[in-house]
Amino acid sequence: MEEIEEQIKLDPITKDEAREQFIQKTNELGLKHRFDFDTTWEAMVDIENKRAFREKIMKLQEDVESDEGSLKDEALHSYNPVKHNFADGCYIREIFNPAGQLLITKIHKKRHPFFLMKGKMSILTENGISTIEAPYNGITEPGTKRAIYTHTDCVFITVHATELTDVDEIVNEVTATDFSDEDIALIDFTQLKIEDI
């Protein structure tokens, strides 16, 4: 397996070479497939892109947190106050972010709506950079971790389905500490067995 990983890093094959290998081995071994080559290739490229983004955004978070000028803990929370509200089966979290901040969000484990109620911000996710301006709403997908730059003062609201009412418990329920969390981990094909396919 190490040889394969080394070959992938140092001398990856092209899509055409992979297609040729796929066809050759399928015929040679008399294999049947559930997905065609192009679908499989696209899925693997998507997974690799997500993995690369996840590594880069975690590195960015480390760099930001280790910078002497970055706000930490109590200072960060005093500049970015949060209001907590509850409705039947919902936790509503409203945060104020002042202009000119670079923020790295937690890793979201659950699909939920978000609303930019005030302001303008640029958001970096695995899908690229987008700039949004209030009023704006969207859906956060599991596995999302954002780098946000606030162009103006912003008010951002998220809504989470939960029966919990303790904020710390809710944070543990809806966010992950890292990308190895089973709710948002990428498929590790090296761990698959033939009978799983």
Strand partners, 23: none
- Regarding whether 39 and 91 lie in a shared domain, the answer is no
Residue 188's pLDDT is 54
Q: How many domains does the chain have?
A: 2
pLDDT given at position 187: 62
Domain that holds residue 164: 73-176
Residues 84 and 164 in one domain: yes
In the chain, what's the furthest Cα-to-Cα distance? 65
Tracing tokens 């949060």 back to the chain, one arrives at: 82
Q: What is the dihedral of CA 184, 41, 3, 196, to 10 degrees?
A: 60
Q: Are 23 and 84 members of one domain?
A: no
Residue 182 forms part of a structural domain: no
What does the pLDDT read at residue 69?
Answer: 85
Q: Are residues 89 and 154 in the same domain?
A: yes
Is the same domain home to 91 and 31?
no
Report strand pairing: 147-150 vs 90-97. Answer: unpaired
Angle in degrees, 0-180, between the axes of helices 37-66 and 15-29, rounded to the nearest 10? 130
The model's pTM is 0.79
Q: Are residues 59 and 139 in the same domain?
A: no
Residue 191 in domain: no
What's the chain look like in SS3? CHHHHHHHHHCCCCHHHHHHHHHHHHHHHCCCCCCCHHHHHHHHHHHHHHHHHHHHHHHHHHHHHHCCCCCCHHHHHHHCCEEEEEECCEEEEEEEECCCCEEECCEECCCEEEEEEECEEEEEECCEEEEEECCEEEEECCCCCCEEEECCCEEEEEEEECCCCCHHHHHHHHEECCCCCCCCCCCCHHHCCHHHC
| pLDDT by 10s per residue, the chain, length 197 | 788 888 888 888 889 988 998 889 888 998 888 888 898 888 888 888 999 999 999 999 999 989 988 888 888 889 999 999 999 999 999 999 999 999 999 999 999 999 999 999 999 999 999 999 999 999 999 999 999 999 999 999 999 999 999 999 999 999 999 999 988 887 655 554 545 44
Note whether 169 and 137 are same-domain residues: yes
The last residue of a domain, from among 32, 66, 100: 66
Return the pLDDT at 196. 46
CATH of the domain at 169: 2.60.120.10
The last residue of one of the domains, among 50, 66, 82, is: 66
Q: Could you tell me if 115 and 163 lie in one domain?
A: yes
- Asked whether residue 39 falls in the same domain as residue 118, the answer is no
Query: Does 184 reside within a domain?
Result: no
